[in-house]
């Protein structure tokens, strides 16, 4: 099937990340991790709005009632009021860890926020993978991670996919939806790094296939449930960072990118760097993303 790739918004995000389509409001949310901003628009790229959060942000989710963001900022987890922008600290996860910040996160089917941390120099295994529940409970699911990326879930919610970007692998865990525990980590797929690409953001479609952004090589790869490559898409920029299905029919793949690499050793990019892209005509649909605290906050 022939697909198209269009620039939805040329917002030049320093480090665009974490697109989330919110089905209830029919709006797309994404972040500029480097500049500390949360964006919102329609599926057509209209009605653009941005919120400043005052520090680096790794990911976000919407609270169940839609009144606030759950924001994974450098210094911890915050509740950010959508109307006023007021921030309330929920958990200072990274207190005293100067080189560590929170990075990619995703809500599980029961409303917990699964979020990882990273070494800001992307050298040492200083990061951890956490589960944060609406009652304030914080659990550690894994540790010894250089750069946490791509948490997402199988359609039945019983498999958690996750990457340490610099491991050259995508992992999967047995996930217990009732307790929120992750166990039996194994290698789901090896990442082809021959063109410089490494695993960044990811999502799972309604058929149970994993879509992975390979940042620095400009590729989006679709893996079947057994970890085999099913399809590969070349993006118009090298630094495509993350992706999420959305739109009224959940059949548009929204892809973020970065305008400026976080460290000098990473490659520069062309004129479309930092754009938000819409990939259409893929012939597959995504799964609606839950809000934080599905059972109440």
Q: Which residues are annotated as a binding site for substrate?
A: 101, 103
Write the pLDDT tens digit of every residue in 147-190.
999 999 999 999 999 999 999 999 999 999 999 999 999 999 99
pLDDT score recorded for residue 269: 79
pLDDT exceeds cutoff 50 at 296:
no
pLDDT score recorded for residue 297: 34
Identify whether the C-beta of residue 244 lies closer than 8 Å to the C-beta of residue 279: no
- Please report the sign of the dihedral spanned by the C-alpha atoms of residue 179, residue 170, residue 247, residue 45: positive
Token pair recorded at residue 143: 């540790």
Write the pLDDT tens digit of every residue in 87-145.
999 999 988 788 999 999 999 999 999 999 999 999 999 999 999 999 999 999 999 99
Identify whether the C-beta of residue 73 lies closer than 8 Å to the C-beta of residue 18: no
pLDDT score recorded for residue 228: 97
Write the pLDDT tens digit of every residue in 211-251.
999 999 999 999 999 999 999 999 999 999 999 999 999 99
pLDDT exceeds cutoff 70 at 295:
no
Query: Binning pLDDT at 50, 70 and 90, where does residue 194 land?
Result: confident
Report the percentage of the chain scoring pLDDT > 90: 90
Identify whether the C-beta of residue 220 lies closer than 8 Å to the C-beta of residue 243: yes
pLDDT average, residue stretch 40-67: 96
CATH of the domain spanning 4-280, picked from 2.120.10.30, 2.60.40.10, 3.40.50.1460, 2.40.30.30: 2.120.10.30
Q: Which residue, among 230, 231, 196, has the nearest Cα to 214 in the 3D structure?
A: 196
Domain borders along the chain are 4-280
Write the pLDDT tens digit of every residue in 270-291.
889 999 999 999 999 999 999 9
Mean pLDDT for all residues in the chain: 94
Interatomic CA distance for residues 74 and 94, integer angstroms: 7
Q: Which residues are annotated as a binding site for a divalent metal cation?
A: 17, 149, 200
Residues designated catalytic: 200
Identify whether the C-beta of residue 158 lies closer than 8 Å to the C-beta of residue 111: no
Interatomic CA distance for residues 206 and 284, integer angstroms: 7
């Amino acid at each position: 099937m022939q697909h198209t790739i269009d620039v939805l918004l040329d917002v030049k995000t320093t480090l665009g990340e974490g697109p989330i389509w919110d089905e209830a409001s029919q709006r797309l949310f994404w972040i500029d991790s480097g500049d500390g901003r949360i964006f919102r628009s329609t599926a057509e790229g209209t009605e653009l709005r941005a919120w400043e959060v005052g520090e680096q942000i790794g990911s976000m989710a919407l609270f169940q009632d839609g009144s606030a963001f759950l924001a994974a900022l450098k210094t911890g987890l915050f509740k950010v009021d959508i109307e006023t922008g007021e921030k309330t600290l929920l958990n200072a996860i990274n207190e005293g860890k100067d080189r560590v910040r929170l990075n990619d996160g995703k809500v599980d089917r029961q409303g917990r926020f699964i979020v990882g941390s990273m070494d800001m120099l992307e050298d040492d295994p200083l990061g951890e993978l956490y589960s944060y529940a609406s009652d304030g409970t914080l659990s550690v699911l894994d540790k010894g991670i250089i750069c946490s990326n791509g948490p997402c879930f199988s359609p039945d919610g019983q498999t958690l996919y996750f990457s340490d970007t610099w491991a050259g692998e995508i992992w999967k865990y047995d996930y217990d939806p009732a307790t929120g525990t992750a166990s039996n980590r194994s290698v789901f797929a090896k990442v082809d790094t021959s063109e410089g690409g490494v695993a960044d953001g990811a999502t799972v479609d309604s058929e149970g296939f994993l879509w992975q952004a390979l940042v620095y090589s400009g590729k989006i790869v679709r893996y079947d449930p057994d970890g085999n490559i099913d399809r590969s898409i070349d993006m118009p920029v090298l630094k495509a960072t993350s992706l999420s299905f959305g739109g009224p029919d959940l059949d548009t793949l929204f892809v973020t990118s970065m305008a400026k690499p976080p460290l000098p050793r990473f490659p520069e990019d062309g004129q479309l760097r930092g754009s938000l892209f819409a990939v259409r005509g893929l012939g597959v649909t995504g799964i609606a993303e839950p809000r934080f605290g599905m059972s109440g906050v």
